[in-house]
Amino acid sequence: MIVAISTSGPQWSVWVGTDERDPLACERTVAAVRGQSVDLLGLVGGLLKQRQCEVADVAGFAVDVGPGSFTGVRAGMAWARAVAWALAKPVCAVQSWQAMAAHAQHLTGSKATLCAIRARQDAWYLGLVDIHGQMTSTAVVCATDVCDWSSEGSACGLALAGSAWGDPALATAWQAASGYAPLAVVDDCCARWLAAVALRRPAHSWSTALAAEPHYIAASQAETRLTAAQVASCSVMPKQAE
């Protein structure tokens, strides 16, 4: 049995099961409200109790490493790594758009998938996942950059994934460049499809808890502001006397 945790999007989810076809597999989803904590331990404990299992029965943890919400990714990874380390259980790190693509391909058949994830108010992470679940290209884009991706999407007949396709600025830019409105076949990353990706991977993809690392495409807004402030402070510092 494994526990899968997805925390990169606006909805956090936890899944507990043995495999993709487990009839007793269970999942819980909660809204991640800014400024409010989410009791991951309580969510996992509730699902294990529903399965009449203990945390010691868990063979491993599949964890969402992003991209997506910096706070969400860090919170989920910190929890999963800490519990896995304490129990000496392996962890499988799965990128959020690989789980989104797996879900989309399940619904559409063998199609490459273009995933959109909100980076900030005026920018998005775009990731192209091929039919084998491998990332082929990623970028942080603004509305003016979308035309480069829309032409590729029109030519290849890509499936679109991610609730960010509903953002007015992104949707308008896509429609202006491609001639059709974007329609995502699935929303954001969820624990069920995170688990599906992890369970298909070979044993060597499951490593020690501390080996799992977040998948960041760009620095967070806080880190960007901190870097800018550091540069500004250095530029005004008086020169030391030689």
Q: What is the pLDDT of residue 133?
A: 87
Nearest Cα residue to 113 out of 92, 98, 129, 126: 129
CATH of the domain at 62: 3.30.420.40
Asked if the structure places residue 232 within a domain, the reply is no
CATH code: domain of residue 152:
3.30.420
Structural domains in the chain (count): 2
Q: Which residues of 100-127 are buried (b: 16+ CB within 10 A; e: fewer)?
A: bbbbbbeebeebbbbbbbbbeeebbbbb
**Residue-range definition of the domain harbouring residue 55:** 2-96+189-227
- What are the structure tokens assigned to 132, written together? 């084998």
Q: Taking all residues of the chain, what is their mean pLDDT, rounded to a whole number?
A: 86
Reported as a single tens digit per residue, the pLDDT across 106-165 is 998 878 899 999 998 889 999 999 988 889 989 999 988 888 887 655 545 789 999 999
Same-domain check for residues 75 and 28: yes
Based on the fold, state whether residues 120 and 19 are members of the same structural domain: no
What does the pLDDT look like over 172-222, one tens digit per residue?
999 988 888 888 999 999 999 999 999 999 999 999 988 889 988 765 554
For residues 14 and 61, state if they share a domain: yes
pLDDT of amino acid 221: 52
Among 40, 27, 118, CA closest to 74: 40
Taking CA atoms, 186 is separated from 121, 166, 191, 205, 215, in Å, by 21, 11, 13, 26, 21
> Does residue 13 carry a pLDDT above 50?
yes
**Cβ atoms within 10 Å, residue 214:** 18
pLDDT of residue 147: 82
Given CA atoms 161, 166, 167, 173 in this order, what sign does their dihedral have? Answer: positive
What pTM does this model have?
Answer: 0.86
Same domain, 81 and 38: yes
* H or E element in which residue 107 lies: helix 96-108
Whole-angstrom Cα distance, residue 179 to residue 169? Answer: 15
The residue behind tokens 């076809």 is 21
User: What's the CA gap between 55 and 33, in Å, rounded?
Assistant: 27
> What residues does 63 pair with on adjacent strands?
5, 93
**CA atoms lying within 13 Å on the CB side of residue 207:** 8
Which one has a higher pLDDT value, 173 or 235? Answer: 173
Q: Are residues 14 and 77 both part of a single domain?
A: yes
Q: Are residues 16 and 80 in the same domain?
A: yes
